[in-house]
Amino acid sequence: MTDWHPTPRDLTRQSLFATLTNEECERMLKLVLAVECSEGDTILQQDDTSQNLWIVVQGKFTVVRRPRPGRADGPVVLANIEAGDTFGEMSFYHPAPHSASVIAATPGRLLRLARADYDLLVEEGDRAAYKLARNTILSLADRLRRMDDWVVELLHDSEHTPDVNQLRDALSGDWVL
């Protein structure tokens, strides 16, 4: 592929940046890194640590999770993502190892925002940082809502219904409602 230099239009096409002004997009272009990848490239590796927010501009990617050690079954495909989608949010906002790997299913173009650059926006009181956080929260809330629906369907349709109390404890942890 040829060199790629993202434009403000590349940003505004992404839901994560859709609410940013032109000026904010111009500032973001100075912070994001344009990344081109080939089919089969691993963008994120499960259990590795990094704090980057990734935005898919072009291409298709597969989110894969390996089972816990000792399990005989192989990796599970959690999602297929494409242009407009984001990934890496959990580790970006909460420093912890990646819960899954992301692998390029096709050649692609990505934007990468490093946490250190985001933190500079926050320190400066830049509204773009708050808009990114809000848009990420909306995206994650939508994803969580879909997961809730899927879990309920799985519980009702499964021959081997898991212990609902155990599942609830695993999902809620120490929540106090």
pLDDT in tens, 83-112: 989 999 989 999 899 999 999 999 999 999
Encoded amino acid at 7, one letter: T
Q: Cβ(39)–Cβ(106) under 8 Å?
A: yes
Q: What's the pTM value of the predicted model, to 2 decimals? A: 0.81
- Summarize pLDDT for 124-149 with one digit per residue, the tens: 999 999 999 998 888 888 888 887 78
